[in-house]
Chains A and B, each alone.
Chain A
């Protein structure tokens, strides 16, 4: 990780994106990096759209706001429409295809994965889609050491849900590396047995 990384997590209120940004920031702190986390507090944060950002750098972080996102996560169509115009080629864009249907621009590096659907079908819990998304992001970017990140996910999860959240995080890695078809097929086989 060379330069300042600016990560934008966007979606609908209730998808757990603010918590995800705090977990990502805590993981980066545990990985000895400098971090600033901010979130939108406006009327849009009360129902409707949710936006939070994390800046990670080895250097000290002065300006705390995102100017050029290097990673963008879109968990619903409205946020995809809104934030896609703010990124430049080179930014890693991850969309949740459960809710986002494009249009996808060829000049941009967009990875579309069924994040929420996988959480629902394989873990039977839609609420951990946020940690699954973090797994996907970290698999794609290597922002934070994977083991440290896993530990932080456990520590920051609500009491009693640490393991489930870790499972979701690991599943995010697999979703990124193996693709959704493979995961769904494997899950179907285990349920048949």
Chain B
């Protein structure tokens, strides 16, 4: 690997570059603030690299185009913000059900509806989890820096391909629009494997035995793709045991690769009494609190930052709750992930929300003050 040279890069640009370096060669989208720079970058990068960029008529069609390109064998990306993310939900569910890989970036802005287009919020946490109907599995990443936007996009593309599972990147407006110094390793030569060479003779598109690679259309296998519950050949079924098995199968994929999917990071005191659990740009304020409270003042304070918010890092939160008296959950919404933290804290620790939803970041001072109130 060549030595990385520092560059100044915007979060949205990093997301686009990460996708390109992960092999994404198809982008369909409809521009919307604060995600537009991703589309702008892809419109430049993809044609230069043998890819395809399409500006669609709306977000519904964008999602459909991405699914179509994926099943044709391309790695795909689309980006939007809250109002567009709402429109993508139906087709997103279809991709989950039909097990078609794709990556959807939602650069969040203040909602509901068109809200405040240029101000940050973390209001789409539950929408990312439950926006499309039914008991579906989902993977959602939440980057806290420009570099995380880069590498989590690469992780998203790879996981999505490996698990045949849509992955969502919930970017904060602050991260998407911010320029920051980053070290981007030079892209190695991409090895594009011809999947059809490694497919067993008895390949089935939705094998009951577990995960099978996606064989794109045009590679010698014929199968049926549907949003209906289907058997292992893709044909619709309403047979109760088969329905149950198919849904279990969708969730088992994520359970099996849980350790690759769930990314968290702990910094701070080894035996903390007060811990902060947060994600996205709020992590930055929390890190600044840990710097002051722990590195400077040696107070028993720690921070568990969540790069993956869905599937929820239950195990990590459970373990943390056993150690601390209080868990503070700062979020730029009226309290969404805090419910999940409370669920897995199981009464072992007191869970305190810290919410802000006026379109401004939670400041380190605000967080520091609350942490101080709960220190022994």
Residues of A within 8 A of B (CB): 22, 25-26, 28-29, 32-39, 41-43, 45, 61-65, 67
Contact = CB atoms under 8 A, between A and B. Distances in A.
Contacts of B33: 41
In the A-B complex, the 7 residue pairs with the smallest Cβ-Cβ separation, listed nearest first, are A62-B288, A41-B118, A37-B179, A62-B287, A62-B284, A26-B8, A29-B181
Interface string B268-309: 000000000000010011011001000000000000000000
Interface string B1-44: 00000111000000000000000000000000110000000000
B285 A62 contact: yes
B178 interface: yes
22 contacts: A22-B8, A25-B8, A25-B179, A28-B181, A29-B6, A32-B6, A33-B181, A35-B8, A36-B178, A36-B179, A37-B180, A38-B179, A43-B118, A45-B118, A62-B285, A62-B364, A63-B285, A63-B288, A63-B363, A64-B174, A64-B281, A64-B284
A117 to B, nearest CB: 30
A35 B364 contact: no
A62 B291 contact: yes
Contacts of B118: 41-43, 45
B177 interface: yes
B361 interface: yes
Contacts of A37: 8, 178-180
B361 A65 contact: yes
Given A41-B33, A45-B118, 8 more contacts: A32-B6, A33-B181, A35-B179, A36-B178, A36-B179, A37-B8, A39-B177, A64-B284
A38 B364 contact: no
Q: Is the interface of B mostly helix, strand, loop or mixed?
A: mixed
Nearest to A25: B8
Given A62-B287, A62-B291, A63-B288, A38 B7 contact: no
Given A62-B364, A63-B363, A29 B7 contact: yes
Contacts, number: 60
Nearest to B180: A36
Nearest to B288: A62
Contacts of B287: 62
Contacts of A39: 177
Interface string B87-122: 000000000000000000000000000000011000
Contact of B181 (A35, A41, A43, A67): A35
Interface in B171-218: 174, 177-181
A102 B336 CA distance: 47
A62 B144 CA distance: 10
B180 A35 contact: yes
B181 A38 contact: no
B284 A41 contact: no
Contacts of A45: 118
A154 to B, nearest CB: 15
B181 A34 contact: yes
A32 to B, nearest CB: 7
B179 A22 contact: yes
A89 B7 CA distance: 34
Nearest to A35: B181
A38 B178 contact: yes
B239 to A, nearest CB: 53
Contacts of A34: 181
Contacts of A33: 181
Contacts of B7: 29
A45 B287 CA distance: 30
Nearest to A54: B179
Nearest to A28: B181
Contacts of B363: 63, 65, 67
Contacts of B288: 62-63
Contacts of A65: 361, 363
Nearest to B117: A41
Interface string B344-376: 000000000000000001011100000000000
A43 B116 CA distance: 10
